[in-house]
A and B are shown apart, each in its own frame.
Chain A
Amino acid sequence: MSDASDTKGSLLGLAEEFYEQFDRGEIPRMTIPTRTKSNIEYDEARRVWVYGDRTSTRSANSVRGARKLLRASYAIDFLVNQLDEDRSSTLRELYYLSESWDVEEAQFTDQDESNELIEDLEIVSGATREDFHMRPEESGATLIGPLEILEQTRRGEREIHCQADVGEGGYQIPSNPKSVEFIDHDADFVLCVETGGMRDRLVENGFDEDYNVIVVHLKGQPARATRRITKRLGEDLGLPVTVFTDGDPWSYRIFASVAYGSIKSAHLSEYLATPDAQFIGIRPQDIVEYDLPTDPLSDSDINALENELEDPRFQDEFWTEQIEQQLEIEQKAEQQALAARGLDFVTDTYLPVRLEEMDII
């Protein structure tokens, strides 16, 4: 998004702002959009959900605010050094590293706090944490399919065919997908899968080869890199993107973050979200139609579904209908419940039928 000197400049700009505020006898503060569900809205032009107008101020006027600003100035110092030295670190490393800071008050009390601060800094500086050279702990997520890429690694360039050159485990998406360049592909569409078990089933059954599909493993709530790659597969290669998850409220949120962006990173929606992504299932409707083995909804499931009815990202006919139906049947099902119909059912019947319905194949 921006190069290292721009990023460094915007971080220093923030430090300068604090300095000026002191100089004017004002109370140092940092204003950022409020990162809650009630403050995200749909951006028609970009077709993603972004933060609304409400802002929160981290001000040194309170004990909490003062500590936050102190930690921010220490984090800025750290990031500027990191950029100067062209190093990178993980979010977890930042958390532990803060223990070595000379002022105890500047140290983070838990990792949520350091993660949140990095998000704050992303928003205020207009950069991403990848620009700060901050990585998540595990890259983890993989993809497999007829796709050829060029990856800039610290050990030089690598050209990789994501089907031919990789094992059954697939190609590991790097934490900063900027280093990945698409060279060529033979894919017809992209299929994002929530669980490892289902991904492995599709690969074992040769689904990626049979249907020319790039299978992206989401590994639960997808990391930013996974979402970024997915977006680029859709946008740069012009491929339809589909999402295949369990049939429960938490999985719907996984779809929503792929398609519309997550609440915590709505400032990056434009960069991470794939607005054209389509949901395959498991739909509550599938549970009924295929008579899948189910588990009853727990109280927290019901609560989550009800929250989703209020969530701006689910405000359309499809989701309202599906969620209401699920609340009615009070059941949920996993992707692997399809195995009740045989191990090949998912690749021979369920997916082809659904994909056809969705005009993908």
Chain B
Amino acid sequence: MDAEMGVAQRLAEEQRAISIAEFFEKNKHMLGFDSGARALVTAVKEAVDNALDAAEEAEILPDIYVDIQDNGDYYTLIVEDNGPGITKEQVPKIFGKMLYGSRFHARRQARGQQGIGISAAVLYAQLTSGKPARITSKPKGFEEAQYFELIIDTDENEPDIKAEKAAEWDRPHGTRIELDMEANLRARTRLHDYIKQTAVVNPHARIELREPKLDESLKFERVTDQLPAKTKEIRPHPHGVELGTLIKMLEATDSYSLGGFMREEFARVGRKTADTVLDEFRDRHFGRELSWTPPGKHEDLDIAAALTAAVTNKGKEATATFVEYVMDAVADHDRVSHVDLERIINNAADRIEEETDRRFGSTVRSNAIAAAWSEVTGASTGDDRIPSELYRVIDNATSKRKSDRVKHGFATRLAEQIEAADRPKHRFTHKELLDLVDAAADATEEYDDATYGETARENVIEALWVNMRRVVDDPPKVRTVANDRDMAAAFLEAMRSTDVMAPPTDCLAPITAELVEEGLKKEFEAEYYGAVTRDASVHGGDPFVVEAGVAYGGELEVESQIDLQRFANRVPLVYQRGACAITDVVRSIDWRNYNLDQSGGSGMPSGPMVLIVHVASTNVPFTSESKDAVANIPAIEHEIELAVREVARGVKRHISQRRSLRQRREKEDVIARVLPEIATKVSSLLKRDRPDIEATLARIMNNVHVSRSTKEDGDTTAVSVVVHNYDSQNAAIEVTEIVDMEPVVSDGASVTEMDDEWYVRWTPTVGPGDTATLTYELPTGATTELAVSGVPAEKLTIDRS
């Protein structure tokens, strides 16, 4: 995330200085345009991503056509969609200025995030072929399409429409972009991968690809009419922005105060959280104020006297009451700082003003505050109060081994540092305090021949800091912070150090396990499919969801490695597989536990398997701007692992079931062939009739054996169906006799008539080793058909003799 937005920020800054063309030339490798082969894939990808986003936003089922033509000198890329179309006014927003995406700080799950993609493709095309981008668009409800020819003015970084006319277009609505560019098809496999994988994770889209080496276009049909849930846009989370974004947000906001700004622009920030952030910000921006114990009786300092002297012309009585109020409040404090005195004196003054007609104006108040503060600090008498105050703090915070002399020396030098800092209110940030203590400790080491190590210093700083008082000054206004990088950095730090509720997750639209499975079924002929969508989690300020899907066996070929397909926000990642967190996680799993082959228990497993991993987030952390690989973020890796392991368990179950079923079927095949031969042989040896071996067979297979016999008695025939369960588990079976004459039923069987056929049905549960006998009567001559269900075919032996 940092890498990505960091680049955006740098790009934004750089582009002021250099032309956009120059900039592109410098950065094209990061944008995925470093070779003709790759540029083509990237351009297709950017155009298709855009088309999908646009269609989904307008709640249209996407229908996308990609056509690549080789024109000899250059390639022409045509991407057509059935999206909502764009009006001339919207053109700049979409194709124009690089990096001026409309919502670069808005948080939602979308394919494109920074507004670099399609404009970079347009620019690449323009720089390599010299030709403008040709755009045809028909907004919904319009009769005619509009045709534009557009280039990006590389000096101004503005779109420049070169030609414009009305045009005929048979699509009801949509956009078609044509780009001529230097390219080649050496990355054809990647291109196909991209298109095919896009189809897998976008089962609601129909995609068609035509390129010079294809005889017939590749078509990927839509399998669902269900559009992805519309993603809610959420505001950024305080923990999910970094400095560049924050400054931009500060510049753009309508809010005046920082508190308002936070509540307005960020998710999960209410008044309380904003206040906490502001307090943290005050600490960092203004610092805190050192506090001291009020002077005691034995000292020559007297706050009351100083106050009495400072308050003039207020009458003796009011003055005395005022002093009393102040002194009472001071007595409640173990220690007082300048800000404490301000509050105490202001409170006392307010009270007097309420109780009497006397006005205690700001002059009186500030005189009183200054007088009281002089007493507290000892400045009024020139008394060296601070060193002894500091000594007490230091003494408490320092180990017993330090001599009094050293501690006194340190206290004195620290007092000198505080004095020299010339902060009348003794106000310091944590950082400043640290510098003071360091300087004093260094001096102590130098002159007092003592050591004052890191731990001792930290203890003192901590002891002082907890006794420092947070100030109540109003924080700077938004505009001030926006213009001061250091201030903004302090503000950001304040936001990060404040606990904020995790961001909401309804801004994410996972594909859903069901549709992942559908997508896999559509593209791969396999035996087993499985998919999972994990619950949303949060990394930094961004929620994310991991999904995984597998297809196993069937027509899939056993390659040396399984087919791992990576996706971020529904976009296939086709490059930099080795640098991706998804790959890392898959390789770290011991797949032998899941019945797959893997040499050495790590690395890519092998087997007939497609594994899909999809990371959806408002801000997928990529390793680079070209968005090819997910960065190794532990929280995301953890979720990927859980998702992959979950689908892997399904594969494991499938493989072992298949194995035991196969063995069973083999056994059944052999035994079913061999046993009758034994029976034939022994009966011919003994010159007897061939024995009935069905019961033996059923017993061997642990099967459920169903045998049917009839006994004719004149007009009626008694039917008896005997079910014997040779298995070690209960068999809940359904036995149905379909007869064409009306049966006579007695023993709990149900009869349903339908089109002159009677369905006689029993649903007995037969315990292991038990037998159930089902009987009924029917007219002699009736045709019957016996059907048994509830037992797998492999485990059922029906003896219809």
Q: Which residues of A contact B (CB under 8 A)?
A: 12, 15-16, 18-19, 21-23, 25-28, 60-63, 66-67, 69-70, 73-74, 76-77, 80, 103, 105-106
What is the CB-to-nearest-CB distance from A204 to chain B, in angstroms, rounded to a whole number?
A: 54
- Secondary structure of the B contact surface, majority rule: helix
With A63-B666, A66-B670, A76-B685 known as contacts, the answer to whether A26 contacts B677 (CB < 8 A) is no
* Beta-carbon contact of A103 and B685 below 8 Å: no
Select from chain B the residue with minimum beta-carbon distance to A67: B674
In the assembled complex, 25 residue pairs joining A and B whose CB atoms fall closer than 8 Å, in A order, are A15-B686, A16-B686, A19-B679, A19-B686, A22-B679, A22-B682, A22-B696, A26-B696, A28-B675, A28-B678, A60-B671, A60-B674, A60-B675, A60-B700, A63-B666, A66-B670, A66-B671, A66-B675, A67-B670, A70-B677, A73-B681, A73-B685, A74-B681, A77-B685, A103-B677
Could you say which residues of chain B place their CB within 8 Å of the CB of A22? 678-679, 682, 691-693, 696
With A26-B696, A61-B700, A63-B671 known as contacts, the answer to whether A18 contacts B678 (CB < 8 A) is yes
- For the complex of A and B, the 4 pairs showing the least CB-CB separation, nearest first, are A25-B695, A22-B691, A73-B681, A66-B674
Could you say which residues of chain B place their CB within 8 Å of the CB of A73? 678, 681-682, 685
Could you say which residues of chain B place their CB within 8 Å of the CB of A25? 695-696, 699
What is the CB-to-nearest-CB distance from B717 to chain A, in angstroms, rounded to a whole number?
A: 25
Q: Which residues of B contact A (CB under 8 A)?
A: 666-667, 670-671, 673-675, 677-679, 681-686, 688, 691-693, 695-696, 699-700
Could you say which residues of chain A place their CB within 8 Å of the CB of B691? 19, 22-23
CA–CA, A338 and B685, complex, Å: 58
What is the CB-to-nearest-CB distance from A268 to chain B, in angstroms, rounded to a whole number?
A: 25
CA–CA, A60 and B675, complex, Å: 8
Could you say which residues of chain A place their CB within 8 Å of the CB of B674? 60, 63, 66-67, 69-70, 105
* Beta-carbon contact of B677 and A105 below 8 Å: yes
How many A-B residue pairs lie within 8 Å, measured between CB atoms? Answer: 80
Known: A19-B682, A73-B685. 8 other contacts (CB 8 A): A12-B686, A22-B679, A22-B691, A22-B692, A25-B699, A28-B675, A70-B678, A106-B681
CA–CA, A77 and B681, complex, Å: 8
What is the CB-to-nearest-CB distance from A74 to chain B, in angstroms, rounded to a whole number?
A: 6
Could you say which residues of chain A place their CB within 8 Å of the CB of B677? 70, 103, 105-106
* Beta-carbon contact of A63 and B678 below 8 Å: no
CA–CA, A314 and B670, complex, Å: 43
CA–CA, A70 and B674, complex, Å: 7
Could you say which residues of chain B place their CB within 8 Å of the CB of A74? 681
Could you say which residues of chain B place their CB within 8 Å of the CB of A61? 700
What is the CB-to-nearest-CB distance from A78 to chain B, in angstroms, rounded to a whole number?
A: 10
Could you say which residues of chain B place their CB within 8 Å of the CB of A60? 671, 674-675, 678, 696, 700
* Beta-carbon contact of A63 and B670 below 8 Å: yes
Could you say which residues of chain A place their CB within 8 Å of the CB of B699? 25-27
Could you say which residues of chain B place their CB within 8 Å of the CB of A106? 677, 681
CA–CA, A245 and B447, complex, Å: 103
Could you say which residues of chain A place their CB within 8 Å of the CB of B682? 15-16, 18-19, 22, 73
Select from chain A the residue with minimum beta-carbon distance to B673: A105
CA–CA, A190 and B679, complex, Å: 51
* Set A12, A27, A62: member contacting B696, Cβ < 8 A: A27
CA–CA, A85 and B674, complex, Å: 28
Select from chain B the residue with minimum beta-carbon distance to A63: B670
Could you say which residues of chain A place their CB within 8 Å of the CB of B696? 21-22, 25-28, 60
Could you say which residues of chain A place their CB within 8 Å of the CB of B693? 22
Select from chain B the residue with minimum beta-carbon distance to A11: B685
What is the CB-to-nearest-CB distance from A232 to chain B, in angstroms, rounded to a whole number?
A: 35
Select from chain A the residue with minimum beta-carbon distance to B677: A103
Could you say which residues of chain A place their CB within 8 Å of the CB of B667? 62-63
Select from chain B the residue with minimum beta-carbon distance to A105: B674
Central interface residue in B673, B675, B682, B696, by most chain A CB within 10 Å: B682
CA–CA, A73 and B681, complex, Å: 6
* Beta-carbon contact of B700 and A19 below 8 Å: no
CA–CA, A130 and B540, complex, Å: 88
Could you say which residues of chain B place their CB within 8 Å of the CB of A27? 696, 699-700
CA–CA, A310 and B356, complex, Å: 117
Select from chain B the residue with minimum beta-carbon distance to A81: B685
CA–CA, A263 and B483, complex, Å: 100
Select from chain A the residue with minimum beta-carbon distance to B670: A63
* Beta-carbon contact of A80 and B685 below 8 Å: yes
CA–CA, A76 and B684, complex, Å: 12
What is the CB-to-nearest-CB distance from B725 to chain A, in angstroms, rounded to a whole number?
A: 14
What is the CB-to-nearest-CB distance from A197 to chain B, in angstroms, rounded to a whole number?
A: 48
Select from chain A the residue with minimum beta-carbon distance to B693: A22
* Set B670, B683, B695: member contacting A19, Cβ < 8 A: B683
Could you say which residues of chain A place their CB within 8 Å of the CB of B670? 63, 66-67, 105
Could you say which residues of chain B place their CB within 8 Å of the CB of A67? 670, 674
Could you say which residues of chain B place their CB within 8 Å of the CB of A80? 685
Could you say which residues of chain B place their CB within 8 Å of the CB of A63? 666-667, 670-671, 674
Could you say which residues of chain A place their CB within 8 Å of the CB of B688? 19
Could you say which residues of chain B place their CB within 8 Å of the CB of A66? 670-671, 674-675, 678
What is the CB-to-nearest-CB distance from A92 to chain B, in angstroms, rounded to a whole number?
A: 23
Could you say which residues of chain A place their CB within 8 Å of the CB of B695? 25
What is the CB-to-nearest-CB distance from A98 to chain B, in angstroms, rounded to a whole number?
A: 13
Select from chain B the residue with minimum beta-carbon distance to A62: B667
CA–CA, A70 and B671, complex, Å: 10
Could you say which residues of chain B place their CB within 8 Å of the CB of A70? 674, 677-678, 681
What is the CB-to-nearest-CB distance from B298 to chain A, in angstroms, rounded to a whole number?
A: 99
What is the CB-to-nearest-CB distance from A59 to chain B, in angstroms, rounded to a whole number?
A: 9
Could you say which residues of chain A place their CB within 8 Å of the CB of B684? 77
CA–CA, A74 and B684, complex, Å: 11
CA–CA, A54 and B634, complex, Å: 61
What is the CB-to-nearest-CB distance from B578 to chain A, in angstroms, rounded to a whole number?
A: 47
What is the CB-to-nearest-CB distance from B270 to chain A, in angstroms, rounded to a whole number?
A: 72
Select from chain A the residue with minimum beta-carbon distance to B724: A25
CA–CA, A16 and B679, complex, Å: 10
Central interface residue in B678, B679, B681, by most chain A CB within 10 Å: B678
* Beta-carbon contact of B685 and A12 below 8 Å: yes
What is the CB-to-nearest-CB distance from B676 to chain A, in angstroms, rounded to a whole number?
A: 10
What is the CB-to-nearest-CB distance from A79 to chain B, in angstroms, rounded to a whole number?
A: 10
Central interface residue in A18, A22, A26, A105, by most chain B CB within 10 Å: A22
* Beta-carbon contact of A15 and B671 below 8 Å: no
CA–CA, A303 and B422, complex, Å: 95
Central interface residue in A67, A70, A74, A105, by most chain B CB within 10 Å: A70
CA–CA, A61 and B678, complex, Å: 13
CA–CA, A103 and B693, complex, Å: 18
CA–CA, A60 and B414, complex, Å: 97
CA–CA, A347 and B335, complex, Å: 122
Central interface residue in B671, B677, B692, by most chain A CB within 10 Å: B677
What is the CB-to-nearest-CB distance from A9 to chain B, in angstroms, rounded to a whole number?
A: 12
CA–CA, A60 and B696, complex, Å: 9
What is the CB-to-nearest-CB distance from B42 to chain A, in angstroms, rounded to a whole number?
A: 58
CA–CA, A262 and B360, complex, Å: 125
Select from chain B the residue with minimum beta-carbon distance to A77: B685
Select from chain A the residue with minimum beta-carbon distance to B679: A22
Select from chain A the residue with minimum beta-carbon distance to B674: A66
CA–CA, A63 and B668, complex, Å: 8
Could you say which residues of chain B place their CB within 8 Å of the CB of A103? 677
Central interface residue in A25, A27, A62, by most chain B CB within 10 Å: A25
What is the CB-to-nearest-CB distance from A60 to chain B, in angstroms, rounded to a whole number?
A: 6
CA–CA, A18 and B696, complex, Å: 11
With A28-B696, A61-B700, A80-B685 known as contacts, the answer to whether A69 contacts B671 (CB < 8 A) is no
What is the CB-to-nearest-CB distance from B662 to chain A, in angstroms, rounded to a whole number?
A: 13
Could you say which residues of chain A place their CB within 8 Å of the CB of B700? 27, 60-61
CA–CA, A80 and B681, complex, Å: 12
Could you say which residues of chain B place their CB within 8 Å of the CB of A21? 696
Could you say which residues of chain A place their CB within 8 Å of the CB of B683? 19
What is the CB-to-nearest-CB distance from A6 to chain B, in angstroms, rounded to a whole number?
A: 17
Central interface residue in B667, B681, B686, by most chain A CB within 10 Å: B681
CA–CA, A63 and B666, complex, Å: 9
What is the CB-to-nearest-CB distance from A64 to chain B, in angstroms, rounded to a whole number?
A: 9
Could you say which residues of chain A place their CB within 8 Å of the CB of B692? 22-23
